[in-house]
Amino acid sequence: MFYSQPDNPKFDNDWKQHVEKRVRYVMWTFEASSIASVLLEDFYVAINDYTTGKAAGYDTMCYEHLLLVEDIILPS
């Protein structure tokens, strides 16, 4: 399994930090498009509606990785 809850004794904090660093970099280098826009509410619904346990995509990021850094992607 790629993702472990922080309260799990097998939780890998180094991996969590690695994923957070990667997501911060992507968010920092991201350039907004003037053609398309996505509302934060839509993104929130999308990120919370995925099924866990799926394989990573071409970017090697699993959905579970996004859950780890949801507070960075969707600040309150």
The torsion angles phi and psi of 45, rounded to 5 degrees, stand at -60, -45
Residue type, 51: T
Q: Which of 24, 31, 39 is nearest to 73 (CA)?
A: 24
Per residue in 8-64, pLDDT (tens digit) is 666 677 877 888 888 888 888 877 777 767 777 887 787 778 888 888 887 887 888
Q: How many CA atoms lie within 13 A of 25 on its CB side?
A: 6
Q: Which of 46, 68, 67, 64 is nearest to 56 (CA)?
A: 64
Stated pTM of the model: 0.41
Number of independent structural domains in the chain: 1
In a domain, 3, yes or no: no
In a domain, 22, yes or no: yes
Structural domain containing residue 45: 13-73
Task: State the pLDDT at residue 63.
Answer: 80
In a domain, 29, yes or no: yes
In a domain, 21, yes or no: yes
In a domain, 2, yes or no: no
* Contact call for residues 69 and 20 (beta carbons, < 8 A): yes
